[in-house]
Amino acid sequence: MPKTSSAQGRDFLSTGYSPPAEGAKAFFDKSHINFPLGFLDLHSVPEYFWIPAAYRPSSWSVDFSEMASGQLARAEALACSGCRHACHVMLYADTKTQLFGRIPIKHIILMQMRFDGLLGFPGGLVNPSKETLEAGLSRELSEELGVAIPISAENHMESCHAPASSPSSSHLITHFYVKKMEEEQIMEVERAAASTAADHGLEVLGMVRVPLYTMKGGGGLASFLSHSFIGNARSQLVDSLLRFNLVSPKELHKALTHSLKIHTHTAEDLQAALVLTEVKRKQF
Amino acid sequence: MPKTSSAQGRDFLSTGYSPPAEGAKAFFDKSHINFPLGFLDLHSVPEYFWIPAAYRPSSWSVDFSEMASGQLARAEALACSGCRHACHVMLYADTKTQLFGRIPIKHIILMQMRFDGLLGFPGGLVNPSKETLEAGLSRELSEELGVAIPISAENHMESCHAPASSPSSSHLITHFYVKKMEEEQIMEVERAAASTAADHGLEVLGMVRVPLYTMKGGGGLASFLSHSFIGNARSQLVDSLLRFNLVSPKELHKALTHSLKIHTHTAEDLQAALVLTEVKRKQF
């Protein structure tokens, strides 16, 4: 049984960050001092390490939109001794395979369905006082994917603040990595994740590939982006698609616009399911 | 390379069904006559077999809310010789495993990330003039999951109309099945789906388990239900949870209510990603 679990933070500016007022003030005013709780045992309170804004009491709402993007230098991030740290990685490979023999798939990107029902990248909490960020991430990957994947500092993309889960808990910093692999290595990861990985069926409910193409009817990337993601995982994906030239800016913009449309339709569908449940639950 | 692909229809009443006016009229006024195109080769037009409402031109919008639920008897469904038929199955098992050693997982339900970026149940198109619905479904499962899973008429739950994708295409009827298995069999399905299945990485982007629990912070079933699903897959899941007593009506209702909240928050997050892309695409 692994000692830590997955968590990802949010980019302040891009996600309407609304942390608990007290905790946030403590962090920004006194970031040189340690936090009282130190490194939490998340086995006992796994749902506390990252509570999406939708779950937080409205009393926590603080507008930080005037702040910087929340990104910080790696050294600066590691200097915060009272902070907790989470590392996640986007593993990807090029492929020549075509869907239906005619739609180029181009790239395979791995994400996962997490224990909390949200989509995210593989990874989890790391304790920099005991291991390097990269060694900790590799350890998490072994647990979640069932294979050893060496991650180096060169794979590091960005570090940023995530909101504290409650005023009394320590602050979370998320570190994001990207690593390119061979197609056969990605397939080996998928096989191991569904068979030998310790976290299979527990912290990880399944690995999924991200469709980067757009079909005639609009299906593909747009539909995928309309799902629910943990923390800033969707932004990390979108950023990486642009940064590594995996999808053109034009295509991506079109997909995101379409994605909002699909998302609106999903709300109607969800509302209908709720109404249907009202009716059905009287029958069973 | 398989000859057919996955498709699922929508329950008229529950999903705000808005089919192309002409095709719908043709079906409801002249359901005794054959349709011109018969069984389509979906390899050439895979995105045509089911176009979600969000993708359809607004000129197709017709209000069918006064109609019946779209369900029909199996014999009645098979009598429509010009119709296309799609069969899908919910495979599930009981489990004694606990998440973090304390949250009972209770049941394992398998769904999949489809090639079109939406979540759905395994299955696909079946041609009743060449094979029984159940034999066709078993064939689809072999392609998608890599193992032979016998499905019998006893596993059949319901059949219902799906909207025609265009006025000229033949009408689609979806048949839904549920099959209970042993935990070890489900794990074998997951292993094969990620390794030997012909459709892996093509029609299927990954298998995922459905979290049925609700964590303290609200994560679990509620988050999962807030994703985007093909056709009426979300309703089929919700119906089955009640029908087989896998989640109590009270818990399910709470999860769906919470799900709508998460969904609303996702819209903000998606909008933020779109804005961020506008900024970022000028940098790359």
pLDDT tens-digit readout, A109-144: 999 999 999 999 999 999 999 999 999 999 999 999
Question: Is A80 in contact with A227 (CB distance < 8 Å)?
Answer: no
**pLDDT in the model for residue A38:** 29
**pLDDT in the model for residue B171:** 87
**pLDDT in the model for residue A272:** 86
Cβ–Cβ below 8 Å for A252 and B281: yes
CB pairs under 8 A between A and B: 305
Listed in sequence order, the residues at least 6 apart from A211 whose beta carbon sits closer than 8 Å to its beta carbon are A105, A219, A220, A221, A223, A224, B115, B116, B117, B205
Q: For residue A48, with 0-12 CB atoms within 10 Å meaning exposed, 13-18 middle and 19 or more buried, which class applies?
A: middle
Positive or negative CA dihedral for A114, A146, A84, A80?
negative
**pLDDT in the model for residue B26:** 31
> Minimal Cα distance from A46: which residue of B?
B100
Exposed e or buried b per residue across B13-40, where buried means at least 16 C-beta atoms within 10 angstroms of its C-beta: bbbbbbbbeebbebbeeeeeeebeeebb
| Gap between the Cα atoms of B60 and A186, Å rounded | 42
| H-helix segments, A39-93 | 74-79
Cβ–Cβ below 8 Å for A101 and B219: no
**pLDDT in the model for residue B169:** 59
Q: What is the DSSP letter of B66?
A: T
Cβ–Cβ below 8 Å for A265 and B53: yes
Q: Given the cut 0.90, state whether the ipTM is greater than it.
A: no
Q: Is A270 touching B (CB cutoff 8 A)?
A: yes
Residue A49 has pLDDT above 80, yes or no: no
Distance from CA of B236 to the nearest CA of A (A): 9
* pLDDT by residue, tens only, chain B of 284 residues: 333 333 333 322 223 233 333 333 333 232 322 222 223 223 322 332 333 333 333 333 333 332 235 678 888 888 887 889 999 999 999 999 999 999 999 999 999 999 999 999 999 999 999 999 999 999 999 999 999 999 999 999 999 988 655 555 568 999 999 999 999 999 999 999 999 999 999 999 999 999 999 999 899 999 999 999 999 899 999 999 999 999 999 999 999 999 999 999 889 889 988 888 887 766 65
Interface test with A, best of B210, B244, B276 (most A CBs within 10 A): B276
The beta-carbon contacts of A244-249 under 8 Å, at least 24 apart in sequence, are A244/A92, A244/A178, A245/B284, A246/A92, A246/A106, A246/A107, A246/A109, A246/A212, A247/A212, A247/A221, A249/B277, A249/B280, A249/B281, A249/B284
Torsion angle (degrees, nearest 10) of CA A220, A222, A227, A232: 120
Q: Is B55 touching A (CB cutoff 8 A)?
A: yes
Interface test with B, best of A227, A248, A261, A282 (most B CBs within 10 A): A227
Q: What is the CATH number for A111? A: 3.90.79.10
Are β-strands A172-181 and A84-94 bridged in parallel, bridged antiparallel, or unpaired? parallel
Of A61-65, A88-92, B248-252, B265-269, minimum mean pLDDT range = A61-65
Domain contains B209: yes
Q: A222: which chain B residues are within 8 Å (Cβ-Cβ)?
A: 117
**pLDDT in the model for residue B158:** 93
Domain contains B113: yes
Domain contains B18: yes
**pLDDT in the model for residue B166:** 54
| Gap between the Cα atoms of A119 and B194, Å rounded | 18
Positive or negative CA dihedral for A203, A208, A214, A215?
negative
**pLDDT in the model for residue B253:** 93
Place A36 in a pLDDT band, splitting at 50, 70 and 90.
Answer: very low
Q: Residue A176, SS3?
A: strand
**pLDDT in the model for residue B139:** 97
Cβ–Cβ below 8 Å for A1 and B101: yes
Range of the domain at B150: 12-214
Question: Is A142 in contact with A3 (CB distance < 8 Å)?
Answer: no
**pLDDT in the model for residue B269:** 87
- Please state the φ and ψ torsions of residue B120, each to the nearest 5 degrees: -165, 180
Domain contains B198: yes
Distance from CA of A104 to the nearest CA of B (A): 11
Helix A133-145 and helix A183-193, axial crossing angle in degrees, nearest 10: 60
Place A279 in a pLDDT band, splitting at 50, 70 and 90.
Answer: confident
> Minimal Cα distance from A194: which residue of B?
B191
**pLDDT in the model for residue B247:** 96
Place A164 in a pLDDT band, splitting at 50, 70 and 90.
Answer: low
**pLDDT in the model for residue B33:** 27
Residues 162-181 of A with CB under 8 A from B: none
Question: Is B7 in contact with B118 (CB distance < 8 Å)?
Answer: no
Q: For residue A251, with 0-12 CB atoms within 10 Å meaning exposed, 13-18 middle and 19 or more buried, which class applies?
A: middle
Residues 225-244 of A with CB under 8 A from B: 225-229, 234-235, 238-239, 242-243
Cβ–Cβ below 8 Å for A262 and B190: no
**pLDDT in the model for residue A70:** 65
The tokens for A112 are 């996962």
Residues 67-106 of A with CB under 8 A from B: 95, 97, 99-101, 105
Residue A214 CB neighbour total at 10 angstroms:
21
Of A31-35, A269-273, B109-113, minimum mean pLDDT range = A31-35
**pLDDT in the model for residue A167:** 56
Q: Is A274 touching B (CB cutoff 8 A)?
A: yes
> Minimal Cα distance from A247: which residue of B?
B281
**pLDDT in the model for residue A278:** 82
Mean pLDDT of A78-95: 93
CA angle A58, A61, A62 (to 5 degrees): 165
Domain contains A5: no
Torsion angle (degrees, nearest 10) of CA B152, B154, B158, B161: 30
Domain contains A1: no
Q: For residue A58, with 0-12 CB atoms within 10 Å meaning exposed, 13-18 middle and 19 or more buried, which class applies?
A: exposed
| Gap between the Cα atoms of B262 and A120, Å rounded | 16
Distance from CA of B14 to the nearest CA of A (A): 5
Domain contains A3: no
Place A185 in a pLDDT band, splitting at 50, 70 and 90.
Answer: very high
Distance from CA of A276 to the nearest CA of B (A): 7
**pLDDT in the model for residue B275:** 87
Q: B115: which chain A residues are within 8 Å (Cβ-Cβ)?
A: 99, 211, 219-220
The tokens for B76 are 């009645």
Average pLDDT, chain A: 78
Among A29, A121, A128, which residue's Cα sits nearest to residue A75?
A: A128
Domain contains B274: no
> Minimal Cα distance from A266: which residue of B?
B228
Among B41, B77, B46, which residue's Cα sits nearest to residue B174?
A: B77
Name the domain count of chain A. 1
| Gap between the Cα atoms of B175 and B178, Å rounded | 10
Q: Is B243 left (phi over 0), alpha (psi -120 to 50) or beta?
A: alpha
